[in-house]
């Protein structure tokens, strides 16, 4: 698992479990984008 997340009210908190390198950067970005699209938070913390 590359990332985990939690939602606290209108905030999305994302935790990266590995160093994000060139080979994993796109996967992390896609996961975060999907979470933002799903939860529609007013702020995101990484």
Q: Mean pLDDT across the stretch 32-43?
A: 97
Question: What is the model's pLDDT at position 9?
Answer: 96
Band of pLDDT at residue 40, cut at 50, 70 and 90: very high
Which residues are CB-neighbours of 31 under 8 A, at least 6 positions away?
Answer: 2, 3
Question: What pLDDT does residue 18 have?
Answer: 83
Number of folded domains that form the chain? 1
What is the span of the domain harbouring residue 41?
Answer: 3-45
Taking residue 23's Cβ as centre, other Cβ atoms within 10 Å add up to 7
Residue 23 pLDDT > 90: no
Decide if pLDDT at 4 tops 80: yes
């Amino acid at each position: 698992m590359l990332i985990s997340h939690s939602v606290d009210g209108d905030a999305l908190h994302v935790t990266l479990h590995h160093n994000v390198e060139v080979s994993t950067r796109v996967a992390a970005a896609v996961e975060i984008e999907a979470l933002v699209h799903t939860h529609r938070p007013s702020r995101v913390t990484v």
